[in-house]
Structure 1
Amino acid sequence: MPHLIPRHVAAQVDAALADTRVVLISGARQAGKSTLVRVVAGDRLAERYDLDRAQDRAAATTDPVGLVDSAELLVIDEIQRAPELLLAIKAAVDEDPRPGRYLLTGSSRLFGMVAAPDALPGRMETIELWPFSQGELDGKPDGFVDAVFTFGPDLRHESDVSRADYAARIVRGGLPEATARTDPRRRQRFFDAYIQALIDRDVRQLSDIQHKGELRKLIRLLAARSTTIIAANSLESALGLSRPTIARYLQALEEIFLVKRIPGWSRNLGTRATAAAKLIFVDSGIAANEIATDARALLRPHAPFGPLLESFVLSELSRQLTWSEQFVDLYHYRDRSQYEVDAVLENRSGQAVGVEVKAASTVGPDDFRGLRRLADRLGDDFIAGIVLYTGTSTLPFGDRLRALPVSALWQVPAPTTDRPH
């Protein structure tokens, strides 16, 4: 990008360094972790190692205790490349428990790594960094989650964002390198190389990959089925792989932050734990590239605009949950009677907001069918049911039910008054 774009989670990293011994910034490759580290470290005295560099990785493997021995802040990029460092860091912070001793970045989830001997429980705070949000790219507040929990159905928003603009945002995605490329062909080259690099390097570190061609095909299949409930057995015939192999590959793709599973919501915690999850891509630009579509094609009849818009919205909501003042978890809802809600945002008090996504520029009562069912299930804990659509105005559709433009996600500011978490 021609200028440095501020990241919303920077404040969380600063706060964590003030009271936590080890801080890990985790997220997809090229999401901006190294740039964020440079901003946060600022004028602090700090040593730095990048484990993508062979010499730094060799030093970490040969003498992990010596490498982590630092009186100042020690920054280690791509910690998953040398997980043996974790035991040395654990010993160091147990001996000297000062906060802000280590700032780590990782492109794979440490808790999912077989090779990780210890993920520093009780000593480390993990902060997820997603690709750029729409608000970060536009210089907007990204305050929808906090605003809807505060104002509920009283939230209002008017928009001038067109369907064509939404399509352009979907195919652009939020990876810094992709957003810097205005030529769609050059962006496509980046996405293709990005996926191949993940397969060749990161996935192979996490899992025994014996069928690289089938893994590439799996990624394309997942993009075509984005926002649907994915089960390993449904992919067997298409890939010619066993269920355990497909399940292992899906897990690896989630561990490297290529895809994210959205769990099913239920009032019954036992049911919730076993409910089928649906899958989204962490970056909508990658998903669009994998199904070979562009912004113009998305606007044609029968194009996959709806599924990609839903995935885009769910990923934007996921980004906001990393910095919102409300402590909120993201689910989807589907019951045996086939009532569905694309997103359920639930706070720690059990209050919830339902969100439906519609690619149309008009909304009708039938679009609130699932939200009304969810309202019946939740009773007084139901704060609001929102249909995000590609129109321009806020529209009422009954008790606590509203239609809002999709751009409310990033253009609505968070409330400035104090509120419970």
Structure 2
Amino acid sequence: MRDPDALIHRHLASTVTERLAESPVVVLTGIRTVGKSTLLHACARTRGVAVTDLDDLATLDHVRADPSAYIAGRTEPVCIDEFQHLPDLLYAIKAELNTDFRFGRFLLTGSTRYTMLPRAAQALTGRAHIMNIWPLSQGELLGRRESFIDTMLLDAKALGAAPDAGTTRERYSEAILAGGMPIGLAAANDRARGRYFDDLIDLIVLRDVMDIRRVRQRGVLQSLTRHLAARTGQILNVADIANSMGHDARTLHDYVQLLESVFLVHRLEAYGRTLGSRLSRSPKVHFVDSGLAAHLLGVTRRKLELRKPTTMSEFGHLVETFAVNEILKQAGWAETSVTFSHLRTHNQREVDLVIEARDGTTAGVEVKAAGTVKDSDFDGLRLLRDRLGDDFTAGVVLNLGRRSYRYEDRMYVVAMERLWA
């Protein structure tokens, strides 16, 4: 069991401070219980201000009575938790900013994707900076500030000079099955973590989704959640899911967007740069947390020990989701501003994660659940390198082995541990 007081987003506190100095409103968004409130309270304490919690019904009723009067004259930054329960509050903030457009005035959190609240999208457009809060990264858990994105784009040669990793396959499995949700990590045992994951899914479907839209078929949403967990790290094919569930594809497409809106899943769009090769335009879908996905799939340490083919296939996709998410988390504090995508050609050459800087500099990551690497694992990365030329800085095959080394020109075999070590 981990110390709950240590499970906070330490890396992001300084980033929040920087963003408040650059924008009148900063909005922290992410899945429920990911640690947004903890981060908000930590930021509020450093500034000596109170936090307004709209998850508390009495507080919500009080603020709803007159949002403009509530925020007027409060000590800044005005810190408000779970703003999505009262979207009208954003109109009051907009009116306040129309008369006083200073930076650092409001710090909000929400468990619903900002752009999925129509009034919110209109109210603070151009006034708010959005920060997505992910489950805790391995580096945050170990007190290390990761720099893998910057290394790939700015100092790729360092990838081949790393010492042998000390992380065993068993330890990797534990990290992947545990995930990064703070309450799950603080659970006393696997059974308690499982109960937390079940309660979290129910809370998201029964409350957070309902904040966006009144969905009558809640059972369908819960079933869809399990189907998406089974497809994490794979191409998103809603028609195939609809066929499996026996439901209308158009309705399920809408429901997938709802689950994205409450941060249960996220899509990784297809790489958009022309390479002169036929590329798939379909996105991949990833669960927000590998531990939550593993729970829904029933993948446990016991099942992994039995090494049944179905379980090992599911674990392979969980490894990809774990690695991709670990890298995406680092974008919150990386020096380099980047976008993410995946690449897949019609003849099955693929790159699980393409990382592109604003100047076009690009790196690629292929993830393998094995402890060894094959030459064919570099096929998609070679396509990127050969077509992008000097814009391509590094291609990495991440794996669960121990060695990291240069494989060939700008190609590296890298132990998964190097993401955080």
TM-score by length of 1: 0.93
Aligned CA RMSD, in angstroms, stands at 1.9
Opposite residue 55 of structure 2, the aligned amino acid is D
The amino acid of 2:53's aligned partner reads D
Give me the whole-angstrom Cα distance separating, in 1, the residues matched to 2:21 and 2:4: 31
Distance in 1 of aligned mates of 2:242 and 2:128: 39
Alignment counterpart, residue 216 of structure 2, candidates 210, 216, 221: 210
> Please, which moves more after superposition, 163-172 or 4-13?
4-13
- Alignment CA distance shift 1:389-1:119 (3 Å): farther
Task: Give 1:8 deviation, angstroms.
Answer: 1.1
Cα distance in 2 for partners of 1:238, 1:296 equals: 28
Using a 3 Å threshold, how does the CA distance of structure 1 residues 205 and 111 change in structure 2: closer, same or farther? same
Q: Residue in 1 aligned with 2:166?
A: 160
1:297-318 C-alpha deviation (Å, 9 max, x unpaired): 2352422221100000111111
Counterpart in the other structure of 1:3: 5
User: In structure 1, what is the equivalent of residue 152 of structure 2?
Assistant: 148
Q: Which runs of 5+ in 1 are unaligned?
A: 412-421
| 1:237 alignment partner, one of 222, 243, 247 | 243
Are 1:21 and 2:17 matched, yes or no? no
Residue 46 (structure 1) aligned with residue 49 (structure 2)? yes
User: Which of 166, 180, 183 lines up with 1:177 in the alignment?
Assistant: 183
1:253 corresponds to 2:263: no
1:93 maps to a residue whose letter is L
Q: How far apart, in 2, do the equivalents of 1:15 and 1:314 lie?
A: 26
The equivalent of 1:414 in structure 2 is none
- Structure 1 segments, 4+ long, off by >4 Å, are 271-274
In the other structure, the counterpart of 1:406 is 416
Q: Is the 8 A contact 2:268 2:342 kept in 1?
A: yes
Higher helix share: 2
Aligned match of 1:356: 366
Distance 1:94 1:351, change over 3 A: same
Query: Matches of 2:5 and 2:103 in 1, distance apart?
Result: 31
Aligned to 2:133: 129
Structure 2 residue 76 is the aligned partner of structure 1 residue 66: no
Cα 1:135/1:125, change in 2 over 3 Å? same
Amino acid at match of 2:140: E
> Residues of 1 paired with 2:225 and 2:9: CA distance?
31
Q: What aligned pairs does 1:378-389 form with structure 2 within 5 A after superposition?
A: 378-389=388-399
Distance in 2 separating the partners of 1:207 and 1:243: 18
Cα 1:214–1:272, aligned 2, differ >3 Å: closer, same or farther?
farther
Question: Does the 8 A contact of 1:17 with 1:23 survive in 2?
Answer: yes
1:84 maps onto 2:88 in alignment: yes
Q: Which residue of 2 aligns with 1:109?
A: 113
- 2:194 equivalent in structure 1: 188
8 Å CA contact 1:164–1:296 kept in 2: the answer is: no
Instruction: Write out per-residue CA displacement over residues 359-400 of structure 1, whole angstroms, 9 at most, x where no aligned residue.
Output: 111112111111111212211111111000111111332111
| Conservation of the 8 A alpha-carbon contact between 2:242 and 2:249 | yes
- Structure 1 contact 87–118 (Cα < 8 Å) conserved: no
Distance 1:167 1:383, change over 3 A: same
Instruction: Provide closer, same or farther for how the CA distance between residues 354 and 294 of structure 1 changes in structure 2, counting only shifts above 3 A.
Output: same
Alpha carbons of structure 1 residues 353 and 43: separation in structure 2 relative to 1, 3 Å:
closer
SS of equivalent to 1:298 = helix
Q: Deviations over 1:228-272 (max 9, x none)?
A: 111221222222222221111111111111111001103149x99
Whether the aligned pair in 1 keeps the contact of 2:362 and 2:391 (CA below 8 Å) is yes
Aligned residues: 410
Determine the C-alpha separation between the residues in 2 that align with 1:222 and 1:30.
Answer: 20
In the aligned structure 1, how far is the partner of 2:48 from the partner of 2:183? Answer: 29
Verify the 8 A CA contact 1:343 1:354 in the aligned structure 2: yes
Checking the alignment, whether the CA contact within 8 Å between 1:191 and 1:286 is kept in structure 2 is yes
1:6 CA drift (Å):
4.8
Q: Give the alignment partner of residue 379 of structure 2, picking from 365, 369, 373.
A: 369
Secondary structure at the aligned position of 1:116 is classed as helix
Give 3-state SS (helix, strand or coil) of 2:351's partner: strand
Q: Distance in 1 between matches of 2:278 and 2:127?
A: 29
